[in-house]
């Protein structure tokens, strides 16, 4: 029996947690309503709110065009102006299945059969009805400020073998100003897209003949990576880490023992050689464990900190690959700490502070800290998980660090601390992970000889500071809009001779800078100087030195700073000293 109810969902407090999620979920229903009004016969899939947006999936033979999106948005505005009540309706499961079959909505029938209980909750607005748990806004009139953004492909239930759907994305806010600000942010993000800048600045590329999600680092991108790696290694040595190199694959039995084959679903299929199965590594941890286990350890040896820039491979569906941000092969700035229980809290605190040191060096001032707790699928004993979560909470409290709890977001073998940095556009990027692990110590039978002469299990901390070099490089490109600070720039100084007779002087300057460990480049092409300047500016080279007759005679150079313009004549020795200091201090701004 169908039961009609007043929609008890109240207008949300716009400042409350979840208010925007409720608004955007209601906007997704408005989107589906508009599509069915304009394109009868379309089947609707699911329409959740996601971070900063909402979407709805549709099954339709014809692809949606940009003109279709304009028409759909206008229809949404029309339905919003109609201020239709959004009513909650309850059916028996049998009634709900019959209703959606009559409507020709086979995808909804499938969802109801799989997910609904005996009573099925739906929401109705005008002629549109949807299977949904809610909650929703009281009426369509309260959904005022929205914008459709894009259309892309999607698979039904995320299954690549399933039906191909079309996903329309949009966003919604409570005020016009908030919507305008967000749309401006999207425009800025487009300008900073690391994929476009990566091509323009000749930093990296992908090639489908090679395989999706596998990065080719070009010379300039490789220079930036090398600078990052050198800094990373130097700082880890200073912090008491030992550096490791480990293989790219191991016997499949290693991953069975670690639990990855059972709990981790992003592994490539195993390889076979001489009747032995091997797995290309998705993580570095078993290798570091084996180094630890290569000899007996004493309580005096701990803590032991192993670090590695280890390349790993994870299978990601082709539909989710996204430039450097989502790839299949990447290099983790990985480390594992083996310590005693009395050292655990101090090691966690030191690791978080170490991460903050890196953020400062790379020019990031804002970040959020999250404590991710036990997921649904996990290994190990519940009491160990409780101890691990308590230990991380205690460390964060003792370090006086504010954090949020991310329920169920831990990895299968332990809870973790995640740190997300905010870029110049205030977007959050996942970087640091500090994960406590009680499980692998047991699985690999790790121990150390205690002060009492008995064997004890060490605590194990998995941690990455930057996350992966690929993703962090993408973040840096977008954060700086390709204008890398001097210490990271692939070319720090461009030397531009005006005519061929100035080439010798330009070459001497180039050699001088290179001898002083600066990355310089003399442009000796037979091009006009204005063209060379435009080229150097377009490549976002921080410092540009123009040399002609006057400069050769005086032993000087005419300086241009990228984004600041002509700075006049400079004494070469004084210029060199200032640039070296800026480089050594990793200054974010160029002030000469």
DSSP letters of 51-79? Answer: TTEEEEEEE-SSPPPHHHHHHHHHHHHHH
Mind listing the pLDDT tens digit for each residue in 525-557?
A: 999 999 999 999 999 999 999 999 999 999 999
From 285, 328, 374, 560, the catalytic residue: 285
Question: CB–CB of 284/221 below 8 Å?
Answer: no
Q: What confidence score (pLDDT) does residue 11 get? A: 57
Count of helix runs (H) and strand runs (E) in the chain: 18, 29
> Do residues 435 and 387 both lie within one domain?
yes
Question: CB–CB of 182/175 below 8 Å?
Answer: no
> Do residues 252 and 315 both lie within one domain?
yes
Q: Could you tell me if residue 506 is left (phi over 0), alpha (psi between -120 and 50 degrees) or otherwise beta?
A: alpha
Question: Is residue 485 in a domain?
Answer: no
> Do residues 178 and 108 both lie within one domain?
yes
> Do residues 276 and 169 both lie within one domain?
no
> Do residues 144 and 280 both lie within one domain?
no
> Do residues 213 and 252 both lie within one domain?
yes
Question: CB–CB of 271/279 below 8 Å?
Answer: yes
Which one is predicted more confidently, 412 or 345? 345
Question: Is residue 590 in a domain?
Answer: no
564 is annotated as an active-site residue: no
Q: What letter would DSSP give residue 284?
A: S
Evaluate if residue 374 carries a pLDDT over 70. yes
Q: What confidence score (pLDDT) does residue 345 get? A: 86
Run of H or E residues at 402: none
Rounded to whole angstroms, the Cα distance separating 523 from 516 reads 19
430 is annotated as an active-site residue: no
From 108, 314, 328, 532, the catalytic residue: 314
Run of H or E residues at 586: none
Task: Give the model's confidence band at 8: pLDDT under 50 very low, under 70 low, under 90 confident, else very high.
Answer: low
Distances 300 to 55, 208, 340, 399, 450 between C-alpha atoms, Å: 56, 51, 10, 25, 8
* Residue range(s) defining the domain that contains residue 330: 197-480
Mind listing the pLDDT tens digit for each residue in 390-399?
A: 888 888 888 7
The residue among 323, 337, 512 whose CA lies nearest residue 435 is 337
431 is annotated as an active-site residue: no
Mind listing the pLDDT tens digit for each residue in 228-284?
A: 999 999 999 999 999 999 999 999 999 999 988 888 888 999 999 999 999 999 999
Is pTM beyond 0.75? Reply is yes
Q: What confidence score (pLDDT) does residue 7 get? A: 55
> Do residues 127 and 164 both lie within one domain?
yes
Q: What is the CATH number of the domain that holds 507?
A: 3.40.50.800
43 is annotated as an active-site residue: no
Run of H or E residues at 5: strand 3-5
Rounded to whole angstroms, the Cα distance separating 514 from 575 reads 14
Mind listing the pLDDT tens digit for each residue in 155-193?
A: 898 777 889 999 999 999 999 999 999 999 999 999 999
Strands of the sheet containing 119-125, edge to edge, are: 3-5, 87-92, 119-125, 128-131
332 is annotated as an active-site residue: yes
Evaluate if residue 363 carries a pLDDT over 70. yes
> Do residues 174 and 207 both lie within one domain?
no
Task: Give the model's confidence band at 562: pLDDT under 50 very low, under 70 low, under 90 confident, else very high.
Answer: very high
> Do residues 227 and 290 both lie within one domain?
yes
Least-confidence region, from 210-224, 333-347, 364-378, 547-561: 364-378
Question: Is residue 135 in a domain?
Answer: yes
> Do residues 406 and 451 both lie within one domain?
yes
Q: Which of 171, 191, 211 is the last residue of a domain?
A: 191
Mind listing the pLDDT tens digit for each residue in 11-23?
A: 556 655 589 999 9
300 is annotated as an active-site residue: no
Q: What is the CATH number of the domain that holds 258?
A: 3.30.930.10
> Collapsing DSSP states into helix, strand and coil, what is residue 253?
helix
Question: Is residue 235 in a domain?
Answer: yes
Question: CB–CB of 575/591 below 8 Å?
Answer: no
Q: How many domains does the chain have?
A: 3
> Do residues 185 and 203 both lie within one domain?
no
Question: Is residue 500 in a domain?
Answer: yes
DSSP H helices in 192-259: 194-200, 219-238, 252-258
Question: Is residue 148 in a domain?
Answer: yes
> Do residues 245 and 392 both lie within one domain?
yes
In percent, the amount of the chain with pLDDT more than 90 equals: 77
> Collapsing DSSP states into helix, strand and coil, what is residue 375?
coil
Retrieve residue 46's tokens: 């699911």
Q: Which of 191, 211, 236 is the last residue of a domain?
A: 191
Rounded to whole angstroms, the Cα distance separating 324 from 471 reads 5
From 336, 374, 456, 479, the catalytic residue: 336
Rounded to whole angstroms, the Cα distance separating 187 from 333 reads 31
Cis peptide before 71 (omega within 30 of 0): no
Question: Is residue 125 in a domain?
Answer: yes
> Dihedral sign, CA of 485, 487, 490, 494?
positive
Tokens 């006057």 found at: 550
pLDDT mean over 390-414: 83
From 416, 427, 532, 562, the catalytic residue: 416
From 130, 333, 334, 523, the catalytic residue: 334
Q: What is the CATH number of the domain that holds 110?
A: 3.30.980.10
416 is annotated as an active-site residue: yes
Question: Is residue 591 in a domain?
Answer: no
Q: Count of CB atoms within 10 A of residue 426's CB?
A: 8
Cis peptide before 280 (omega within 30 of 0): no
The residue among 443, 410, 435, 418 whose CA lies nearest residue 286 is 443
From 288, 340, 456, 462, the catalytic residue: 462
Q: Which of 191, 222, 255 is the last residue of a domain?
A: 191
Question: CB–CB of 306/335 below 8 Å?
Answer: yes
């Amino acid at each position: 029996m169908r039961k009609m109810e007043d929609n008890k969902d109240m207008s949300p407090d716009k400042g409350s947690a979840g208010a925007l999620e409720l608004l955007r979920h209601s906007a997704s229903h408005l989107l589906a309503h508009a599509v069915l009004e304009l394109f009868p016969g379309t089947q609707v899939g699911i329409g959740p709110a996601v971070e900063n947006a909402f979407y709805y999936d549709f099954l339709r033979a014809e692809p949606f065009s940009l003109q279709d999106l304009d028409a759909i948005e206008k229809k949404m505005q029309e339905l919003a102006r109609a201020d239709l009540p959004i009513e909650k309706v309850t059916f028996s499961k049998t009634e709900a299945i019959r209703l959606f079959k009559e409507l020709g909505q086979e995808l909804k029938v499938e969802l109801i059969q799989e997910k609904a209980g005996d009573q099925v909750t739906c929401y109705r607005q005008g002629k549109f009805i949807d299977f949904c748990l809610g909650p929703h806004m009281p009426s369509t009139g309260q959904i005022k400020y929205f914008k459709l953004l894009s259309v892309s492909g999607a698979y039904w239930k995320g299954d690549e073998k399933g039906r191909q759907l079309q996903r329309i994305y949009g966003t919604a806010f409570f005020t016009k100003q908030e919507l305008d600000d967000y749309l401006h942010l999207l425009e800025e993000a487009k300008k900073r897209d690391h994929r476009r800048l990566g091509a323009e600045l000749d930093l990296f590329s992908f090639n489908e003949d090679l395989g999706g999600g596998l990065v080719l680092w070009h010379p300039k991108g490789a220079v930036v990576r090398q600078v990052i790696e050198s800094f990373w290694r130097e700082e880890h040595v200073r912090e008491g880490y030992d550096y490791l190199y480990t293989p790219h694959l191991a016997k499949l039995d290693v991953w069975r023992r670690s639990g990855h084959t059972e709990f981790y679903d992003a592994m490539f299929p195993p390889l076979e050689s001489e009747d032995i199965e091997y797995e290309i590594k998705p993580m570095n941890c078993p290798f570091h464990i084996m180094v630890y286990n290569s000899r007996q350890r004493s309580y005096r040896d701990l803590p032991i900190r192993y670090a590695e820039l280890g390349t790993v491979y994870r299978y990601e569906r082709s539909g989710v690959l996204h430039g450097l941000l989502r790839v299949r092969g990447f290099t983790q700035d990985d480390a594992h700490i083996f310590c005693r229980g009395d050292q655990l809290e101090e090691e966690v605190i030191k690791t978080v502070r170490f991460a903050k040191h890196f953020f400062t060096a790379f020019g990031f001032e804002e970040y959020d800290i999250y404590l991710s707790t036990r997921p649904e699928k996990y290994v190990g004993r519940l009491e160990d998980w409780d101890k691990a979560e308590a230990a991380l909470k205690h460390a964060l409290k003792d370090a006086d660090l504010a954090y949020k709890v991310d329920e169920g977001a831990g990895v299968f073998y332990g809870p973790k601390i995640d740190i997300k940095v905010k870029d110049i556009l205030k977007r959050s990027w996942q970087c640091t992970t500090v994960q406590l692990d009680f499980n692998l110590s047991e699985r690999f039978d790790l121990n150390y000889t205690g002060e009492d002469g008995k064997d004890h299990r060490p605590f194990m901390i998995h941690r990455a500071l930057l996350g992966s070099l690929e993703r962090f490089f993408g973040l840096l490109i977008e954060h700086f809009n390709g204008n890398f600070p001097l210490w990271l720039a692939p070319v720090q100084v461009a030397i531009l001779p005006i005519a061929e007779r100035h080439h010798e002087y330009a070459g001497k300057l180039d050699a001088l800078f290179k001898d002083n460990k600066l990355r310089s480049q003399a442009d000796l092409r037979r091009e006009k100087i204005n063209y060379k300047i435009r080229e150097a500016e377009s490549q976002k080279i921080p410092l540009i030195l123009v040399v002609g007759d006057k400069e050769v005679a005086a032993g000087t150079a005419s300086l241009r700073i990228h984004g600041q313009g002509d700075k006049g004549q400079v004494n070469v020795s004084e210029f060199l000293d200032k640039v070296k200091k800026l480089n050594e201090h990793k200054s974010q701004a160029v002030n000469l």
